[in-house]
Amino acid sequence: MDTIHILQKTYEDLYLARIPLIDFLQKRLPVVSSQWIKDCVERVIFKDENLSLKQKEKLNKSRKDITQLDIFYLIKILLDDKNWNSLQELFPEDSYYFIQDNRDLYFKIQEIRCNVMHPSFTDYSYEDSLEWEKSIISFVNIFSPDKKLYDYRKEYHNKEKEKLLQIITDKVITPAINSEKLTEEFKLNIRNTKERLENQTTAEGIIAFFTDALDSLQGQEIGKTLESKDLDSFEKIKPIIFAEYYK
């Protein structure tokens, strides 16, 4: 696994690891303060004097909705001394979240996030990837004992896949199947293509179709036929699919 794929995979895992932490904070911080966004969130993320103007602008847009915050700042909110002490006092039953081993792991996740967002010129190894993944799994297990990182990955990938598939269905497959200008044999090819897309387990599989299958001779012929009947082809909506995927 090369460095770029290690960073991409870890970035996705960190993005998903936010979900149970967000749930934890949203349930508890309103008890800490009736103005918790101001007192527990804004107070923490804007007291960093090292923030660049661009970072401040980005944080300013997401400060009212913590679901938009990066995991680094979510953990920063949790680790803030005032928030940390208030949570311990108000939720004594939550003592497990505040033990030293878990606190150390929170700092470790922040460190991993910084490595991913600001990678060094040194290539990362497969062993690095495994170590990071192990830490992120442990982090998720703290805040979500019943739902594992794998479950969040599967749910996320299926959601992304379905989003892309819906665009393809609405713009190409359904118009082609309902068209009176195409033969039944050609429509069967379209249905088979839809089945192939539905069998993909991830959004990456959908993207692979657009980068590989469309370059085949059959893919090119299907595209030409669709466009000759004034219908959108898979090739024509490729920029839309890529824009949605990389968004």
Q: Distance (Å, rounded) from C-alpha 186 to C-alpha 182?
A: 6
Tell me the per-residue pLDDT of 137-154, one tens digit each, with 9 for 90 and over. 999 999 999 999 999 999
Position 30: which residue type? P
pTM for the model stands at 0.78
SS3 of residue 222 by DSSP:
helix
Residue boundaries of the structural domains of the chain:
3-147, 153-246
Q: Distance (Å, rounded) from C-alpha 226 to C-alpha 202?
A: 26
Let me know how long the chain is: 247
What's the rounded mean pLDDT across residues 159-187?
94
Task: List all residues 6 or more positions away from 123 whose beta carbon is below 8 Å from its beta carbon.
Answer: 2, 3
Q: Distance (Å, rounded) from C-alpha 192 to C-alpha 50?
A: 55
Q: Distance (Å, rounded) from C-alpha 24 to C-alpha 21?
A: 5
At 124 the pLDDT is 82
Q: Distance (Å, rounded) from C-alpha 234 to C-alpha 93?
A: 55
Structure tokens at 184: 């039944």
At 60 the pLDDT is 66
At 51 the pLDDT is 60
Tell me the per-residue pLDDT of 98-132, one tens digit each, with 9 for 90 and over. 999 999 999 999 999 998 888 776 778 889 899 99
Structure tokens at 108: 């470790």
Tell me the per-residue pLDDT of 54-104, one tens digit each, with 9 for 90 and over. 666 666 665 568 898 999 999 999 999 999 999 999 999 999 999 999 999
